[in-house]
Amino acid sequence: MFSTEQQQAIFQALPDPVFILTRSGRYADILGGSDSRYYHDGSMLIGQKIEDVLIPEKADWFMLQIERALASRQLLVVEYGLAGSDVKGLGNDGPDTVIWFEGRIQALDFTIDGEDAVVWVASNISARHELEAQLRHKSEIDELTGLHNRRSLMVQLRNQFSLFQRYQTQTAILLFDLDFLKTINDSCGHLMGDRVLRLIADCCRKHLREQDFSARYGGDEFVILMPQTSVEQAEHLAQRLRLAIVSAMGSQPLHSRNNPNDAIKERGISGGLSQFSAGDASFEDVIGRADRLLYMAKQQGRNRICV
């Protein structure tokens, strides 16, 4: 139906680039890629090998995908990022952000110069990738404090509990609640209440270790999950955090709106500290224990951690 020239023109008009790659990683041909918003002219790659173009770590990954597609003979769909620093010899000329692609790879049923080969269609999905990252962030992070939200805490607790069941690694959990937030809200305004909640989050980020997982459990309740931590170590960390929060709150102008001389004196947190234990059926058991200990801390006069 189409002449050879017309077929060639149709291939070149394809918006996404189509790479014909041999088993040894040679660019046998490149078609399409006409959407110049996303793709540069790649014709200079023809005849070159992936290992000549990309740094070893990336080149190995590309070669592995070619092998997978050739072995399965099925359509293989992969996602990958390419940064300017992944391309050999680009220097500072490449893009400064990672560009994300979806690769659709299919083995060809003929050989090219005696080699097996695949067709690899690369689509720029950076915009979608960015949107997905934003949505993931929104679904996992508490908007007010920037800590993990309850939903991502639950996922983390479930994973850590599975690890505990398999390896019995000590894992401590602190559940704490800001004392008298209602009084702060009523006396100093809701915005000041919000400010104190953010202050607590800052203290968590500053005073806990990188492996500790801090989350806003809801309202003025927070949970700190401390993997590979004994209760003794966790108690030390919890007390350090409590003192840091008391000290940070001390620097806040927590004065009554009606009477500026009337400062709110009660500043602190009450917490319950527990750990996964052999008899627990699920992570909910340890949260339940920490909750009862938190209640005890409130009963005993607040601004303390019960273990």
Q: Which of 68, 88, 298, 304 touches ligand GTP (CB under 6 A)?
A: 298
185 binds ligand GTP (CB under 6 A): yes
220 touches ligand GTP by CB under 6 A: yes
**Residue 179 touching ligand GTP (CB under 6 A):** yes
Which residues does 301 contact at the CB level (< 8 Å), separation at least 6? none
Q: Per rule CB under 6 A, is residue 252 in the interface with ligand GTP?
A: no
- Pairing state between β 27-32 and 17-22: antiparallel
What's the farthest any 2 CA atoms get from each other in the chain? Answer: 90
Tell me if 235 contacts ligand GTP by CB under 6 A.
no
272 binds ligand GTP (CB under 6 A): no
* C-alpha dist (Å) from residue 281 to 158, 165, 172, 285, 287: 11, 10, 16, 7, 12
Binder of ligand GTP out of 9, 13, 55, 144 (CB under 6 A) = 144
Q: Percentage helix, strand, coil, to 5, in the chain?
A: 45, 25, 30
Compute CA distances 161 → 139, 174, 262, whole Å.
Answer: 22, 15, 46
The least CB distance from residue 181 to ligand GTP, in Å, is 4
19 or 176: CB nearest ligand GTP: 176
Residues 195-214 that bind ligand GTP (CB under 6 A): 197
Asked whether the beta carbons of 64 and 47 are under 8 A apart, the reply is no
Q: Nearest CA to 305 among 293, 289, 288? A: 293
Residue of 101, 180, 222, 283 that binds ligand GTP (CB under 6 A): 180
The nearer residue to ligand GTP, 197 or 244, going by C-beta atoms, is 197
**Residue of minimal CB distance from ligand GTP?**
193
Q: Which of 53, 178, 199, 200 binds ligand GTP (CB under 6 A)?
A: 178
Parallel/antiparallel/unpaired status of strands 76-82 and 99-107 = antiparallel
Euclidean distance between CA atoms 58 and 46, whole angstroms:
18
Nearer to ligand GTP, 68 or 195 (CB): 195
By the rule CB under 6 A, 294 interacts with ligand GTP: no
Residues that bind ligand GTP (CB under 6 A): 144, 177-183, 185, 190, 193-194, 197, 219-220, 298, 302
